[in-house]
Amino acid sequence: MENSPNCQDIFILSGQSNMSGRGGVVTLDNRTRIWDQVVPEEANPPASCLILRLSAELQWEIAKEPLHYDIDHDKVCGVGPGLVFAASFLRLLKEKGEETNTIGLVPCAIGGTSIVEWEKGGRLYEQMINRAKSALRGGGTLKALLWYQGESDAVTKELAEAYQTRLERFFTDVRYDLKAENLPILQVKITGTWPFCEEIRAAQSSIRVPGVYNTDAWGLPLNPDNIHLTRESQTKVGTALAEKYVNDVLCVTRSRC
């Protein structure tokens, strides 16, 4: 597929493993991890609509699960929230009588990463910015950053206490480097039994950067590892992100609540 498919709306998917997706990943014989290859029905786009993904080689291709297979390539990836988000977004727009035919997703999430690893100047940050810029070369508009990260910073008090400041700096840097000062940011608040989970959640709720919209994964079922969201939970997160974008972000950006 050519590298300029005229994506109308482009979304960055970034963060750590629950963004890259572990839904449907199972462990065989207590050691071998595989994806069960079951894709939720909600991930299918409406008729006449197309969802693309930017590959590791910076080529547009038809989006399919697992979205992050060649990005978070050291891990076994499964279902994340990104494809369900895109398909749900398209359906919601159609219900409102609007038309967006092609969405471009830019997978960037890497499992097990701390916010420190996403600081400007670091490999992950620069890779994300470069991928986003490459996605925009063929046209289209960058619509939002979808961000799901924080579990790796919920393991120590020191990391948790510094999280809000680092996250605010990260969001500000992303907007500056992408020349998108009002870029909407859709953040998923973490869940789990991490030692400082509540502190990270509080930081996520207290972000002082405008234009950050929260959805919440709290209490959603986890895989047996007690870390990663199940396929069903990822479907709920993806749907919630789409509803948040259509009902809240578009309401503000178009000034028609």
Average pLDDT for consecutive 10-residue bins of the chain (257 residues)? 67 98 92 94 95 98 98 97 98 88 96 98 98 94 98 98 98 98 98 98 98 98 96 98 96 63
pLDDT, position 252: 74
Provide the residue count of the chain.
257
CA distance 226 to 194: 10
CA distance 13 to 11: 6
32 phi/psi in degrees, rounded to 5: -85, 125
pLDDT, position 101: 86
Edge-to-edge strand list for the sheet holding 9-15: 60-62, 50-54, 102-107, 9-15, 141-148, 185-189, 212-216
Residues assigned a catalytic role:
17, 225, 228
Residue with tokens 């500056």: 176
Give the pLDDT confidence of 168-198 residue by residue, as tens digits: 999 999 999 999 999 999 999 999 999 999 9
Q: Tell me the CA distances in angstroms from 255 to 12, 63, 119, 142, 157, one per residue in order.
A: 23, 31, 33, 19, 41
pTM: 0.95
The 10 Å CB-count burial string (b at 16+, else e) for 166-187 is: bbbebbebbbebbebeebbbbb
Give the pLDDT confidence of 124-172 residue by residue, as tens digits: 999 999 999 999 998 899 999 999 999 999 999 999 999 999 999 999 9
pLDDT, position 5: 59
